[in-house]
Structure formats: C-alpha cells, structure tokens
Amino acid sequence: MPDIRAQLTFLSNSPLYEIEKPYSILLPEQEQGDSIRHDLPRCNNLEWSHHWVDIREARRRHDLTLEACGFQLLRHTSQSIPIREPRDVTSYRLETEELLQTTFAAERAICYDVVLRQNVRDTSSSTDLRDPMSPHPPAFRVHNDATPKSGVDMIERHLPHEIREMYPVTRYRYRIVKYKTTYGLGVDSPLAVCDYRSIADGDLVAVDKVTPSRVGEVYYLKHNDHQAW
C-alpha cells in the first residue's frame, strides 16, 4: 500500500472539556448481564472533528520500534487464523503469548482478551461482551486503550493475585501491548498508527468509558498538524 492521504476522526478541541471530563456510557441490555445496547439515546458528551492527514507506508521502514515510536511491525505467520470457532480463540491466545514473550524477552506474557473486528453492518441492537465470536466493528476514532490509571486497573483486574505476587511491581516491569493481527487485505479500514514522539502535551485526553461492570478510561486524541502517521 503506498503513502496515502486519509480523513481521520479526532476528539474535538471543545471548551466543554475544560470544565467537564469527556465520558461515554454504554448501558446494559438488562439490569444483569454483559450485553451492551446500541439503540438507546445518546449517553456521552463526546464531540468529534475530521481532519485529513498524510499516512506513510510503514512496511518500508525498518526503524520503527516499540521503544522508539510506540509501535512495531512483526513478521509472523499465524497458525490460528482465520478464527471460526471458540477453540480457535484459545489457540490464538497461546500463540500470541508465545510470540510476545519471545519478541520482548519477557519472563511471562498473558493474553487477557481477544477481540474480533469485522467491517460489516451490525443489524442487532446489542453486543454480548461475553461472546468471543461476536465481531466488533473497526475503531474509527483515534484512541489509545490504556492511560496510566486504566493500565494499573487492567493489571489488577486481569492478573490473578498469585501471578501478581510472583511478579511484584517493585521488581518487574509490566508492559501492556496491543497486538493487532492483519489478516487478508485491509481494503476499507486499514490500520493507522501515530508516532508517539509527534504527540504534544495536551493532545491526549482521558475519557471515562462506563460499562455495566466498571468505569474504565481511555485516551482520545485531539488533532495536531505535527502528528506523524
């Protein structure tokens, strides 16, 4: 894929966020359960802006490393995709753990979640968060899944107590890695990433994500002409 110019969706630089933290509430389908409704009135204060940006082809670059720019390309042929049934998810988890443990010379790698994404029209009114085979649409808004606050929460929520006892934070470095497998040709929703060295103070905005079971936090990005994609 050559260098392209594309329109991305950013969090607006709204004065509202100077007095009110951005938030998004995903309401449950029932009082109990893990299904999320899609057909309810708006439950957020998020405002978006669209900007055209130049996106360079990353596969021709060999200087892009996790430590240098916040992302890294790995050449790996998966034996677990396409994922067609739940047991494929288990196989994919184990394969991912082995790959990342080797790549980063880690003592241990734990794949705590697998999300399938597919750019198809969802005609259902809800998404079952417990179903690993339920595909999610592409994430069209520029974001980062972890903040300093939610990163700590992820570790405490997903790692059993005995694992945290075995690897205390006073002696070990924890790293949360978002591993994205590309399968086939990304025709209409290719993945774009931003070099974190080009992100200025204030570009990242913490946003509350409220689900049936907890309040999480993610970063959304405000547009800046100096950002490198």
* 170 assigned to some structural domain: yes
**Structural domain count, the chain:** 1
**What are the Cα distances from residue 155, in Å, to 48, 158, 160, 174?**
30, 6, 9, 8
User: Tell me, what's the pLDDT at 40?
Assistant: 59
Assessment of whether the complete model's pTM goes beyond 0.75 = yes
Q: What is the pLDDT of residues 174-223, one digit of tens each?
A: 999 999 877 665 567 788 999 999 999 999 999 999 987 889 999 999 99
Indicate whether 30 belongs to any domain: yes
pLDDT for position 32: 42
226 located within any domain: no
* Residue 28, domain member (yes or no): yes
Q: What pLDDT does 94 receive?
A: 95
**Spatial CA neighbour of 45 closest among 28, 15, 20, 18:** 20
Taking 50 as the pLDDT cut, the residues of the chain under it are 30-33
List of E strands, the chain: 4-11, 23-25, 35-37, 48-55, 126-128, 143-144, 204-210, 215-221
pLDDT score for 20: 97
Q: Who contacts 212 (Cβ-Cβ below 8 Å, separation ≥6)?
A: 26, 27, 28, 33, 34, 36
pLDDT of residue 51: 98
Domain of 70 in residue numbering reads as 4-221
